Chain A
């Protein structure tokens, strides 16, 4: 499986620098985990950020910084080599499987939302969205940016089809009505949004009331 829709370079650069908004970084991570191309690009940006960091003008450290540091080394011996079996077994589950989730909630016929339990800024949302095959989403706009990664299944937005692994960035200018394609079964997405979705019509209001998304 190889994704065809990727985060923009600027998004991958912010991810590499660790400056993406909390929650949005998780959606990018979900894409990056399954996308070899983007992992390579993130590594390039990390190298750029690392080199630029070592060029920053040094800040003044406290006078006793180094002695304090050296004293701490005594109590913290270096870990054994990477070959030694000292590390706990690595969690090999995918990011999607490891994310802590809250209770799944019914949103509308064929639509479920499951908030993800990680720290975020007030008002932001991070959630899984499960939509049954053939369901058309609500026409909606965004009061802030929204990142989505398709975990499984496929959805169509206008003329573009997004499949598992694909990444979608929407900003405030986008008003859309994605549809889940029937032939691929249901669709699971992970999405982060800033501010609330602006649903159009009463169903949009209903969704906001029920789900708070």
Chain B
């Protein structure tokens, strides 16, 4: 369980978990909390976008747009549905798709997954973002290093399997079966853990 953010006591923003920073923005438009969140996530969003082939200036612009959405939509964040990193990731993902193909994300991701509760709610279902991220890491540990590599490439590089095959120096069929196996294994472990 994560303790509720102590809103009245104006705890220094750097002590708070990312989820608490978002709540601070929602509750009192806390600029310090936002600045801290920006320092945590903007450089990683930029890194994510560059990995997918966005130029560095455009990646920085998109990262800024994503963080502005975080500021504006903070009230819609629900930590029982998604951790901060997942919520911010999906915002950036949709902006990236829209930047390339106008408004497509509004169709392809209209099923707003962040607005739906996960499975039946447990009384103690509120897992902190840090705990959740820890479990994701635990799930990744059950994969072989090769499998982790293809999972990372699938998530963060918009490369066809043929290019991944060339990069890794292995046949295309091997890449395909490796991706299939790795993703199936990852999903099974996540289902057990989350």
Contacts and interface: CB of A to CB of B under 8 A. Distances in A.
Interface of A: 8-10, 12-15, 17-19, 22, 25-26, 28-29, 32-33, 39-62, 65-66, 68-70, 72-73, 76-82, 91, 95, 98-99, 118-120
A4 to B, nearest CB: 18
Nearest to A15: B108
B35 A70 contact: yes
B47 A46 contact: no
Given A39-B111, A43-B116, A53-B88, 15 more contacts: A9-B187, A22-B100, A41-B187, A43-B113, A45-B183, A47-B82, A50-B88, A52-B155, A53-B92, A53-B156, A58-B43, A59-B43, A72-B64, A95-B107, A119-B104
Contact of B89 (A28, A39, A49, A95): A49
B21 interface: no
A72 B83 CA distance: 25
A51 B104 contact: no
Contacts of A60: 43
Given A59-B56, A61-B42, A119-B101, A32 B75 contact: no
A47 B187 CA distance: 11
21 contacts: A10-B180, A10-B184, A14-B154, A18-B93, A40-B118, A44-B191, A45-B186, A47-B82, A48-B151, A48-B186, A52-B155, A59-B47, A59-B59, A65-B60, A68-B64, A69-B64, A72-B64, A79-B72, A81-B26, A95-B110, A95-B111
Interface string B67-92: 11001111110100011011111101
Interface of B: 25-26, 29, 31, 34-35, 38-48, 50-52, 56, 59-60, 63-64, 67-68, 71-76, 78, 82-83, 85-90, 92-94, 96-97, 100-102, 104-105, 107-111, 113, 116, 118-119, 132-133, 136-137, 139-140, 151-152, 154-156, 158, 179-180, 183-184, 186-187, 190-191, 194
The secondary structure that dominates the B interface is helix
Contacts of B88: 50, 53
Contacts of B25: 78
A27 to B, nearest CB: 9
Given A46-B113, A51-B136, A76-B68, A61 B60 contact: yes
Contact of B38 (A29, A33, A69): A69
Contacts of A17: 93, 154-156
